[in-house]
Chain A
C-alpha cells in the first residue's frame, strides 16, 4: 500500500538542472531500501520555484526539498522515507518573516513566502499531478467541466458563463474571451476551428510552456469546450518545436484522451465530435501574432495579414476561428466548474482572475508565480520574488517582453492589471517579468529588445522592417556616445510613426521598450548623449577603468590578468606602500573588466 509520494519536478527548468538523474537515483534507492510497495515516485510539471531546482516534494508531509543533487537522494530515502526524519539541510521553508529564529520544521509549502500570496488556478495541477497520466488529471476533477458542458449546457450557456466571468485574453491583448467566442459562434460555415496559441516567444517567458508540460489535459478539455460553444469540431495547438517536453507530453495527452473517448466522435454520447492536432512552429516570433499563426498552420510562410476581416469571420482556412492563448484556455474548465461569480471574485474591477508571471532577471526566486490581478508590483518582487540579490537597489521591471514597457521603481506600488499598466504606458504582455537592478543600463536594455525585434520582423511591411532597424541604429549611436539631443527627438518621432503604421502587433508594439525608457529614464539617455557617460557602467564605449594610485599596493595582479597588456607599472610609490602603483593605458584597454574582477584591494573603478 502506498503511503508516501515523492514528487520530482520534470519541468524544463529542473530537467536542465538535473532532475532526470535524481528520478533515476530515487528509483534505485527506493528499490534498494525495499520501499517500492510503499513509496510512489511521480514526475510532475513545474512547481514554480525554478531558482531552487531541482525540486522534490515528499507527501503526505509536503516537505519541500530544494537544490537536490543525486548524492542527496540516498539520505532522503533512508532518513525521511524509511525513518521519518526530515533532512533539514535541504528543506526550503523561508516564510519571509523577519524573525531570525529557526523556522518551524513543519512549515507547509503554502506558508512559505514564495507560495503564500499566490493563488494557483491555472497552475493548480502543475507540480501536483503526473502530466502523463490522464487518470491523475481526472482525479483532480479533470474532464468534469467538459462532461458538464456536453450533458447539461447549451453553447449559449457556455458563452454566457465565460462572458460573465470577465476572463480576458492572457496572451497580452486582454480582449474579453467570452466576446471573442460570442462573435464567432453565430457565423455559419461548413467547418470552424479552435486554435490554441502556444507560440510563446518573449525572451524570458515560460508560462505557457509550463502549463503544457505540467497540465496538458486542461488545454485539451478547454479547447473541446470552446469547440462545443462555437460549433467547431477541429482544433489545432500551435506550439514551437523548441519546446520538446511540452510537445511530447501534449501529444501523449491527446492520445490518452482519444483512448478514453474524450476526443473523437460522439463525446459523452452527446453527438459532439472534436479532433485536436498539434502544429509545430519553427520559432518565428511573428507567428505569435494571430493572423501570422494561422497563415503558418495553413502551411504558408508565417506573415500577418491585415484585419478586418477578423478571425471570428475569416480565420484559419478562411473559416470562422477562435484563437486563444494557453493560459486563457487553462482557466476555462475551472470557470465552468466553479462558476462565473467565483472567477469574477478574484482580481480587480476590469481584470478578473489571476495572472501567471515568469519572474526573471535580478531577483532571488526566479520562477513561475500565479497571483490575483491587482497584486502590487512591490509584493511580487519583494514578498514572492524574495527581493533583489546582493543588496542591490531595484531600478525597474520590464513586462511584456519586446512589446512591453517598463515600470520604474517610483511606480512600484502599481497594482498589476491590464488597465493600470496601460495607463502608465506599459503593458501586461503574456507574463514575462524581468527585474532590473541599478547595474542595468536602460538604453542598453531598450537596444537589446530592439535587436530582437529587428531579427524577428517578418519584413512584410516597411515601417516595421526598415523603421525598427533605423531605431536600432539610433540607439547604437547613443550607446557609443555619438548621439545628439536631436537624436532623442528623432527617436521618439520614429517610434510613434512605427507604432501607427505597422501592419501587425509586432511592429505596433516594437517601439514600446524605447518609448517607456524615454518616458521614465530620459535622464539616462541625456547622460549618454550630453555627458557621454553610462550611469550604470554598462555601455563599453562610454566606460573607462582607472586605478587609484594611492590604494594600489603594486601587486601586479591586474597587469597579469589583462589580456591586452594595457596595464603598466608607474614610478609612483604611494605613502605607506613598498611597491610602485600601476596604471591603465586607455588607448589599449578593451574594457573587459578582468582587472577589476581580480583586484583584491578595490583599487580599480569604472568611470
Chain B
C-alpha cells in the first residue's frame, strides 16, 4: 500500500458488499416473494432492483428486501416503496424493465411512476 488513494479505492469497491449489514435504511423497497409472487415472476424483479440500487450507488440510502404474501395475488409481482415521511407507494404487475424505470424516475428522480401503481391499474 503506497497511498491513501489505493486504500480508498478498495473501500469504494467493497462498500456495496458490506453496507447491507448496517441494517435497514429509511427508504425500503419491499418485494412480495410468496409462492404467488415467485410464480408471477418476482425473482427477476427483485434481482433488477438489487442490481439497479448497486449500479446507481443508492445502497447507503435504499434497502431492497422481501416479504411474504401481501394478499393481492392477482396483481403480483407487487413492490412496495417506503420512504420516510411519505405515503407508501405500491407498484403492481412489475417486471425487470419496469423496475429499472422505477429506480430511475422514482428513487433517483423523486417522481412516482403513476402508471405502474395499484391505484392506476385498478381504474
User: Which chain A residues have a beta carbon within 8 Å of chain B's beta carbons?
Assistant: 1-5, 7, 38, 40, 59-62, 82-85, 108-110, 128-129, 135-136, 138-141, 143-144, 147, 151, 260-262, 266-269
Establish whether residues A139 and B1, one from each chain, have CB atoms under 8 Å apart when the complex forms.
Answer: no
Whole-angstrom distance between the alpha carbons of A227 and B109 in the complex?
Answer: 50
- B63-71, B100-108, B115-123 - the one binding chain A: B63-71
Interface code B41-85, partner A: CB below 8 Å = 1, 0 otherwise? 000001100110010000000011111100000000000000000
Residues of B within 8 A of A85 (CB): 34, 67-68
Establish whether residues A59 and B21, one from each chain, have CB atoms under 8 Å apart when the complex forms.
Answer: yes
Contact size range, B: 20 to 34
Establish whether residues A1 and B23, one from each chain, have CB atoms under 8 Å apart when the complex forms.
Answer: no
CB distance from A171 to the nearest CB of B (A): 30
Please list 15 pairs of residues, one from A and one from B, whose beta carbons are closer than 8 Å in the complex, sorted by A's number: A1-B47, A3-B46, A4-B20, A38-B46, A38-B47, A38-B50, A59-B23, A83-B66, A84-B65, A128-B18, A135-B14, A136-B17, A136-B18, A139-B14, A268-B4
Residues of B within 8 A of A1 (CB): 47, 50-51, 54
Establish whether residues B10 and A62, one from each chain, have CB atoms under 8 Å apart when the complex forms.
Answer: no
Residues of B within 8 A of A268 (CB): 1-4
Residues of B within 8 A of A139 (CB): 10-11, 14-15, 17-18
CB distance from B41 to the nearest CB of A (A): 15
User: B10's contact among A5, A84, A135, A266, by CB below 8 Å, is which?
Assistant: A135
Q: Does B35 interact with chain A (Cβ within 8 Å)?
A: yes
Establish whether residues B68 and A108, one from each chain, have CB atoms under 8 Å apart when the complex forms.
Answer: no
Establish whether residues B14 and A261, one from each chain, have CB atoms under 8 Å apart when the complex forms.
Answer: no
Establish whether residues B20 and A5, one from each chain, have CB atoms under 8 Å apart when the complex forms.
Answer: yes
Q: Does B33 interact with chain A (Cβ within 8 Å)?
A: yes
Establish whether residues B20 and A60, one from each chain, have CB atoms under 8 Å apart when the complex forms.
Answer: yes
Whole-angstrom distance between the alpha carbons of A151 and B1 in the complex?
Answer: 12
User: B7's contact among A84, A136, A138, by CB below 8 Å, is which?
Assistant: A138
CB distance from A191 to the nearest CB of B (A): 24
Establish whether residues A60 and B46, one from each chain, have CB atoms under 8 Å apart when the complex forms.
Answer: no
Establish whether residues A62 and B7, one from each chain, have CB atoms under 8 Å apart when the complex forms.
Answer: no
CB distance from B4 to the nearest CB of A (A): 5
Establish whether residues B11 and A138, one from each chain, have CB atoms under 8 Å apart when the complex forms.
Answer: yes
Q: Which residues 1-40 in B have Cβ within 8 Å of A in the complex?
A: 1-4, 7, 10-11, 13-15, 17-18, 20-21, 23-24, 31-35, 38
Residues of B within 8 A of A136 (CB): 14, 17-18
Closest 4 CB pairs of A and B: A84-B66, A139-B14, A84-B33, A3-B50
Establish whether residues B1 and A262, one from each chain, have CB atoms under 8 Å apart when the complex forms.
Answer: yes
Whole-angstrom distance between the alpha carbons of A61 and B63 in the complex?
Answer: 9
By beta carbon, the residue of chain A nearest B59 is A60
Residues of B within 8 A of A83 (CB): 33-35, 38, 66, 68
